[in-house]
Structure 1
């Protein structure tokens, strides 16, 4: 029969073995994550989802632009747990500038683009962004669109009509509004409803809320539109089962 000393040694060894195993698993997962990130950036992994990330870059948007830039790495990191996400940046600023980047699977590349630009005074050009989405949808499958803005200075009927077209293409648009401009709130909600997306609000004191939204949608797009990856506030707005 084993004495108490032997039992203590046995238990201690079991504890060490457990810690060693847990450490090995953690190390393996960390290495796997780095490999997946490297493969995604080099284009070696197949694209599992496509996300258009669109922003109002008029002058009032600079603080939000900076937050979105800072969360890009987190978005890609979360997305790569579920696949390989390709993202395209689209923005408008000034009186007539509206640009779209090439598609990328690199957080570093996306952040680099955003860091090159500053916001400039001008009027909203949401219609041009929605038209761009329609054009891209004719060329490839798009899993989600994110739009971040605060107001709307365009014909609401035209914007709603374009959103309806996008909805018929099966592309959910997630609209996030900073502040509470009432006319914009109404139209933004309609865009989300017509496309099968969702609407959210945040303010200058809740930037982490925007970061949470963006990371959730990145995971949603990369995982084949798995709604469980979305924050509850957004998931509950989607049509159909909420599993």
Structure 2
């Protein structure tokens, strides 16, 4: 049993505590919020390891950690779904990712999108990033959810490893319906993924103008698809 406090706080201390809590909450709400999601099923381990290092570039290439708050989400195994607290530090996020082992299982993209929509209702997100190579759910269901994201101005940035045709068709349609963008990469193009992640970070921090002001190859690819 936890020990009770040695004394009761007086009204001044309570007011100070509540004031500090409100200040922390206000700072958190002022940050641009971005969900960073990865398929953590068994085939994803090599990409997960790369992403755990590359995601730190999302902070460095944005406008700074003080303006960007990330939530790590992943699915794996048998209905295993994880969503972290909101983090504003790339090192903390990398440390969290390093402790995760990928496990075999089916995709849960629909569950991920429903989670993102719920988070967006509570406090608006600027975007959601998803990295994956497979899609084992109904394309109609996923596109319906992507359309809901679009209606609520939550763009999806879908980065596909490999070039499986049905996955590409679905991801491209989801990106279009949400007002986001799609791109592919492979196991040898870590730099391409880094550029794409950095471009999304800039978009989340400063909108379309931030991409136009720093037109890397990744930014150009996203700008071609983003709605004016």
For each residue in 1:128-147, what CA deviation from the matched residue of structure 2 results, as whole angstroms up to 9, or x when unmatched?
Answer: 10000111011001001101
**Aligned CA distance change for structure 1 residues 224 and 237 (closer, same or farther; 3 Å):** closer
Aligned pairs, number: 199
Q: Give the Å deviation of 1:72.
A: 2.3
- Asked whether the 8 Å contact 2:65–2:89 carries over to 1, the reply is no
- 1:170 corresponds to 2:158: no
| Structure 1 runs of 4+ with >2 Å offset | 42-48, 80-83, 224-227
The structural deviation recorded for 1:78 is 1.5
Q: Secondary structure at the match of 1:147?
A: strand
Q: Does 1:120 align with 2:108?
A: no
Cα separation, 1, equivalents of 2:64 and 2:135? 35
Distance 1:131 1:81 in 2: 28
In 2, Cα distance between the equivalents of 1:144 and 1:54? 11
1:237 aligns with 2:220: no
Contact conserved, 1:58 with 1:120, CA < 8 A, in 2? yes
Q: Residues 167-216 of structure 1: CA distance to partner in whole angstroms, max 9, x if unpaired?
A: 10001100000001111111100110001100000011111111110011
- Whole-Å separation in 2 of the counterparts to 1:56 and 1:129: 10
Distance 2:47 2:111 in 1: 20
Aligned to 1:60: 43
TM-score (norm 1): 0.77
> Which stretch of the first structure deviates more once superposed, 130-139 or 71-80?
71-80
- SS of 1:145's equivalent in the other structure is strand
Q: Measured at CA, do residues 43 and 110 of structure 1 come closer, stay the same or move farther in structure 2, by a change above 3 Å?
A: farther
Counterpart secondary structure, 2:150: helix
Deviations 1:75-99 (A, max 9, x none): 1112234961000011001121011
2:225 alignment partner, SS class: coil
Question: Counterpart of 1:120 in 2: which secondary structure?
Answer: coil
Q: Matched residues in 1 for 2:114 and 2:177: separation?
A: 15
Aligned counterpart in structure 1 of residue 54 of structure 2, from 40, 48, 71: 71
> Contact 1:45/1:84 (CA < 8 Å) preserved in 2?
no
TM-score by length of 2: 0.82
Distance 2:189 2:149 in 1: 29
